[in-house]
Amino acid sequence: MKRWLTGLALVSSFSVAQAAELKVNDPAPNFTLKTHEGKDFELKSRAGQWTVLYFYPKDDTPGCTKQACAFRDNIKKIRAQSAEVYGISADTVEKHASFHKSQRLNFALLADPEAKIIEQYGAKMPAANMSNRWTFIVNPELKIAAIDKDVDPVVDSEKIADQIAALKKK
């Protein structure tokens, strides 16, 4: 059974394993990436707010499309927890723009075509320029609050708002 590792308490279903060297309570590595709109996004701009970083393999593939659409459909519940969602893959800005438009997404996609940030978060697939499907919750102090390395693309977004609510109670 999976478990969420969140600070000191085990809640819901995030894994206990750490992502590469990142673990719960570590500072979230800062980065700057381009959004699907070609604008710069820097993680440190999220200080004071909850942030969900979901890493996924590739735009327009069945599992990744299901996951993105699930986040789209559950975004109000997540935003009700004062959190914002960012999807990260090694796709280009142009590919993200097309995927964002075709799926009518309502959150930002971040392009990491060289997979530098994907690797920094430990999510890079061995021998491939693609990400594993992992989700990180970053707290308002920009520390890793939870890591999920066993993501079900259909239900990942449904768990996030409840997980953030539980983390806020600490």
Rounded CA-CA distance 50/37 in Å is 22
Rounded to the nearest 5°, which phi and psi values hold at 117?
Answer: -75, -40
| Among 26, 81, 14, CA closest to 54 | 14
Q: Which of 5, 19, 52, 64 is catalytic?
A: 64
Angle, alpha carbons 38-143-91 (nearest 5°)? 30
- How far is residue 64 from each of residues 17, 54, 76, 115, measured CA to CA in Å? 22, 11, 20, 17
Instruction: Specify whether the CB–CB gap between 144 and 28 falls below 8 A.
Output: yes
33 CB burial (10 A radius; 0-12, 13-18, 19+): buried
Among this protein's residues, is 64 annotated catalytic?
A: yes
Alpha helices for 20-152 (secondary structure H): 62-79, 93-102, 116-120
Residue found under tokens 């970083």: 53
Active site residues: 64
